[in-house]
Amino acid sequence: MRLTILGATGSVGRSAIDIVLRNPDRFDVVALVANNNAAELAELARATGAKVAVVAREDRFEALREALSGAAIECGAGEAAVLEAAQRPADMVVGAIVGAAGLKPTLEAVRQGRSVALANKECLVSAGALFMKEVAAAGTTLLPVDSEHSAIFQVFEQENCDQIEKIILTASGGPFRTTPLDEMYQVTPAQALKHPNWDMGSRITIDSATMMNKGFEVIEAFHMFPLRQDQLEVLVHPQSAVHGLVQYQDGSLLAQLGSPDMRTPIAHCLAWPRRMAVPVERLDLAKIGNLTFEAPDMVRFPALRLALEAMKRGGGATTILNAADEVAVAAFLSGKIGFMDIPAAVEACLEKLDGSHGGRRPVDVDDVLSVDEEARKTCAAWIGAR
């Protein structure tokens, strides 16, 4: 398989490369793209035998070229080089660039008709209708990398989609599932970054702690699967063994289970429609003993409520939601605001901008990025006034 990885030095990218390195005869790496970590990108490019390595930041080009000195690997830098890498002939493109920066290159891969293993949330949260329109026009195969969406994909019977009553995305509840609400105002970044089950990047870990990430996943599922908004449900499942469920009209409830390791859903994409061996820990149900489920607490986790409300509003509301959250999470990690200020900042931005953007659907990528930029500035101003 000819493979391109957008976001090679992130947590999803590194997990994908781990699978590639364990199966060198199975993959031919076309291109690796990263934001600014030239040294690690060069190391990964050498290890995988990539044809080209690209950093998004132009000021890191010399560092990348020096790190690749003596290797027969083409290197590039800047937005144009990233888009060119996404255009290169490949059987599959892993879209794992974090943030709004991943929207254009992932869309470019879609337009080329590549199969896309999607990990970038902004493609569906910020630009869902636009992105899926491009997927349909190009006839692209879109495969979900998120464990929850992968789980749904695996038990979602496309030929019986009219027989589906609902789908259920599970959430661990994060590190503060049982923390008294008044104590959550004193949560530190170090505490919030200690997820009980998953090893992920810093933003997604914080979003999991606030449960904003689960709200994002519901929005993504709405665009990814042919269902109504009222057919999407969230259950808190602390053991993180069941990743997703589909309820059918005949009473059958189908679930996908597995250990909390991102290599499983990534491998499902890379081997689809078949499967491949992955050395992840096997789920031992006897050892776990009990699987428990509970409804999410919208008071404890207002971020989830905000995400569901933004999805219902439509238009640019989810773009505002995502952009404001990214700024607020960064501010929390840098000590500028408290943990519970994250959803407060997002809600303030939604209230301020919803009238101008909430009811208007972005017509193109530039429109999405314009709304995104305005939301970021609005959130930064709110934080600065604290």
Residue 355: predicted pLDDT: 63
**Per-residue pLDDT at 170 exceeds 60:** yes
Residue 361: predicted pLDDT: 73
Average pLDDT, the chain: 95
Q: Which two tokens stand for residue 154?
A: 């695996």
For CA atoms 240, 241, 245, 250, the dihedral sign is: negative
The hierarchical CATH code for the domain 2-145 is: 3.40.50.720
Average pLDDT over residues 69-96: 97
Domain range 314-384, its CATH number among 3.40.50.300, 2.40.30.10, 1.10.1740.10, 3.50.50.60: 1.10.1740.10
Residue 356: predicted pLDDT: 57
**Per-residue pLDDT at 350 exceeds 90:** yes
DSSP state of 57: S
Q: List the one residue out of 151, 313, 322, 292 whose CA is nearest residue 221.
A: 151
> What confidence tens digit (pLDDT) does each residue in 41-76 have?
999 999 999 999 999 999 999 999 999 999 999 999
What's the rounded Cα separation, in Å, for the pair 64 and 32? Answer: 12
pLDDT grade, residue 134 (50/70/90)?
A: very high
**Per-residue pLDDT at 143 exceeds 80:** yes
Contacts 24+ apart (CB under 8 A), 132-135: 132/223, 132/224, 134/107, 134/110, 135/110
What's the rounded Cα separation, in Å, for the pair 64 and 41? Answer: 8
Do the bridges between strand 28-34 and strand 52-55 make them parallel or antiparallel, or are there none, so unpaired?
parallel
Please provide the distance, in angstroms rounded to a whole number, between the alpha carbons at the two ends of the chain.
51
Average pLDDT over residues 248-256: 98
| CA distance to 5, 26, 90, 126, per residue, from 95 (Å) | 7, 19, 13, 15
**Per-residue pLDDT at 259 exceeds 90:** yes
- List helix spans (H) across the chain: 11-22, 38-48, 61-67, 79-87, 103-111, 122-125, 128-138, 147-155, 189-192, 202-210, 212-224, 263-271, 285-288, 302-313, 317-333, 341-353, 365-384
pLDDT grade, residue 360 (50/70/90)?
A: low
What's the rounded Cα separation, in Å, for the pair 278 and 74? Answer: 30
Q: Which helix (H) or strand (E) holds 156?
A: none
Average pLDDT over residues 373-382: 96
Residue 293: predicted pLDDT: 97
Residue 6 · residue 93 · CB < 8 Å: yes
Q: List the one residue out of 257, 262, 242, 245 whose CA is nearest residue 172.
A: 242
Q: Which two tokens stand for residue 315?
A: 């238009």
Domain ranges of the chain: 2-145, 148-260+284-288, 314-384
Q: What order of strands is seen across the sheet that includes strand 253-257?
A: 232-236, 164-171, 242-248, 253-257
Question: Would residue 70 be called left, alpha or beta, if left means φ above 0 and alpha means ψ between -120 and 50 degrees?
Answer: left
Total-model pTM: 0.93
Backbone angles phi, psi at 198, to 5 degrees: -110, 150
Average pLDDT over residues 236-263: 96
What's the rounded Cα separation, in Å, for the pair 301 and 126? Answer: 21
pLDDT grade, residue 200 (50/70/90)?
A: confident
